[in-house]
Amino acid sequence: MEWETVIGLEVHVSLSTKSKLFSGSSTEFGAQPNTQASIFDCALPGTLPVFNEEALRMAVRFGVAIGAEIGKRSVFDRKNYFYPDLPKGYQVTQLDFPTVGKGALTVTLADGSEKIIGVTRAHIEENAGKSLHEEFSGMSGIDLNRAGEPLLEIVSEPEITCAEEAVAYLKKLHTIIRYLDISDAIMAQGSMRCDVNVSIRPKGATELGTRAEIKNINSFRFVEKAIHSEVARQQEILEDGGRIIQETRRYNADKDETSSMRSKEVANDYRYFPEPDLLPVVIDDEYIAAVTAQLPELPDARKARFIEDYSLSNYDAGVLVSSRELAEYYEIVATASGDSKLAANWVSQDLLGLLNKHNWEIADSPIQAVRLATLIARIKDNTISGKIAKTVFESMISDESDVDAIIESKGLKQVTDSGEIEKLVLEVIEKNPAQVQQYKDGKEQVIGFLVGQCMQLSKGKANPAQVNELLREKMQ
């Protein structure tokens, strides 16, 4: 039987507000346990929440960026359950009236085609703390630094049909969130987390199959692998005549398989009800307009502009706008160097290659945009050849001095002095009489070998165009 996969994603993003959702505690990452937990975060009796409006602004910013309906009256609810890292015994979230309603994302697939994936809603809620099981023998420790941090939970429509689409959706979400500057969205640090709902059904069926939810996946790659392995598992069960249980599963990357965490059939009853300690959050058109006015240029718009203004290919533009930092970096290089295409090649190949190799972010790059622009400018003005530029680029990684100084100190400056080039050319003609003869006999392609010899002799510094011209002249 042929099967089709239906996937829905729930993505939790930590909003990068300075303080927590309902208290003044700092949200700085990596502090000593419980040093960022106020009396409210510890749920001391008598303490009350005060809503951090920065979180609202960020959620609305996200909403308008994906063209979503904005809830003009959002209401917080209590979701009740007992867990030691949930100090109040309930999580404050938004059930019926989320801040962000229906919207959509456009994702680009591997074959270059585009697909629109619906976003059902995005709601604001508070994070739980962390249970520490390892350091305390026979007991668990609780760290409440994270408790009460603002999260935006973004729920997709079940419109994703394969792992690759899921990853494309996640990457697009990640890009937009980073453009909006509302979260670090670092999966490895947990500031972006993903729950994947997967079900399969016979191809062409209209009813959805029973789904499994894979919780807390923390990398794009694992999302892809988890979906593959879960789809295979479900397919095997169904083809053996079994049935899928609706349950929560976890993905084990080492074994590349999912395993059951708890069955939803005996699910918690969360007993939601409106949070009486908070008033509904009411916003007007003016508020939404003000947030909209402050939106940065978003990836889709920037891509179109790059294609238009810098004559880039669809593919190159797509790569360059995939992160806000990269796009901004590219734009500096393109304008400062005066050659947008050469800039695109250097940024998308050499620079990205370097960063990937060392697992660096743009911000960590030892080569700043203006330096790379200068390097490209030196190719343009014939100070160095493209090949020498690669050597200079390598030096620039460890040498912070300016580009011209590196070229100068290493003696890499291109030789354009016709006297010196003439010397090279004459020497090569003298040392290679056989090839010279072949050329003279009409074997045109030998010129490549002779130019190469000259370049080698000059240690790459000779201007190849000049060498070529002079060789032909001397061999006539």
Q: Which residues bind another protein (CB under 8 A)?
A: 39, 42-51, 78, 80, 82, 84, 87-90, 140, 142, 269, 271-273, 276-279
Q: How many CA atoms lie within 13 A of 185 on its CB side?
A: 22
> In this complex, which beta carbon is closest to another protein, that of residue 140 or of residue 263?
140
Task: Tell me how far, at minimum, the Cβ of 141 lies from another protein, in Å.
Answer: 11
Task: Tell me how far, at minimum, the Cβ of 113 lies from another protein, in Å.
Answer: 42
Residue 408 makes CB contacts below 8 A (sequence gap 6+) with none
Task: Tell me how far, at minimum, the Cβ of 189 lies from another protein, in Å.
Answer: 26
Label the pairing between strands 114-126 and 150-156. Answer: antiparallel
> In this complex, which beta carbon is closest to another protein, that of residue 277 or of residue 394?
277
Residue 162 DSSP SS3: coil
> In this complex, which beta carbon is closest to another protein, that of residue 50 or of residue 245?
50
> In this complex, which beta carbon is closest to another protein, that of residue 81 or of residue 449?
81
Residue 407 makes CB contacts below 8 A (sequence gap 6+) with 378, 383, 384, 388, 392, 413
What is the total residue count of the chain?
476
Residue 471 to residue 466: CA distance in whole angstroms:
9
Residue pair 302/73 in contact (Cβ under 8 Å)? The answer is: no
For the stretch 48-80, what's the b/e string if a residue is b when 16 or more beta carbons lie within 10 angstroms of its beta carbon? ebebbebbbbbbbbbbbbbebebbeebbbbbbb
For 126-149, what is the HEC assignment?
ECCCEEECCCCCCCCEEECCCCCC
Residue 300 to residue 431: CA distance in whole angstroms:
58
Task: Tell me how far, at minimum, the Cβ of 23 lies from another protein, in Å.
Answer: 10
Residue 468 corresponds to which tokens in the numbers above? 């070529």
Which phi and psi angles does 328 have, rounded to 5°?
A: -65, -40
> In this complex, which beta carbon is closest to another protein, that of residue 140 or of residue 418?
140
The CA distances from residue 17 to 2, 227, 343, in Å, are 47, 32, 35
Residue pair 118/111 in contact (Cβ under 8 Å)? The answer is: no
> In this complex, which beta carbon is closest to another protein, that of residue 47 or of residue 335?
47
For the stretch 309-331, what's the b/e string if a residue is b when 16 or more beta carbons lie within 10 angstroms of its beta carbon? ebebeeebbbbbbbbbebbebbb
∠ Cα 376 380 381 (to 5°):
120
- Nearest residue to 159 (alpha-carbon basis) of 102, 220, 215: 102
Task: Tell me how far, at minimum, the Cβ of 144 lies from another protein, in Å.
Answer: 9
> In this complex, which beta carbon is closest to another protein, that of residue 74 or of residue 183?
74
Task: Tell me how far, at minimum, the Cβ of 60 lies from another protein, in Å.
Answer: 19
> In this complex, which beta carbon is closest to another protein, that of residue 279 or of residue 465?
279
Residue 323 corresponds to which tokens in the numbers above? 């992160």
> In this complex, which beta carbon is closest to another protein, that of residue 80 or of residue 368?
80
Task: Tell me how far, at minimum, the Cβ of 86 lies from another protein, in Å.
Answer: 9
Task: Tell me how far, at minimum, the Cβ of 46 lies from another protein, in Å.
Answer: 4
Residue 223 corresponds to which tokens in the numbers above? 């999302």
> In this complex, which beta carbon is closest to another protein, that of residue 85 or of residue 469?
85
| One-character DSSP codes across 294-311 | TPPPPHHHHHHHHHHHH-
Task: Tell me how far, at minimum, the Cβ of 274 lies from another protein, in Å.
Answer: 9
Task: Tell me how far, at minimum, the Cβ of 210 lies from another protein, in Å.
Answer: 20
Task: Tell me how far, at minimum, the Cβ of 351 lies from another protein, in Å.
Answer: 49
* Region of 119 on the Ramachandran plot (φ > 0 left; ψ -120 to 50 alpha; else beta): beta
| One-character DSSP codes across 406-456 | HHHHTT-PPB--HHHHHHHHHHHHHH-HHHHHHHHTT-TTHHHHHHHHHHH
Task: Tell me how far, at minimum, the Cβ of 83 lies from another protein, in Å.
Answer: 9
> In this complex, which beta carbon is closest to another protein, that of residue 93 or of residue 458?
93
> In this complex, which beta carbon is closest to another protein, that of residue 44 or of residue 253?
44
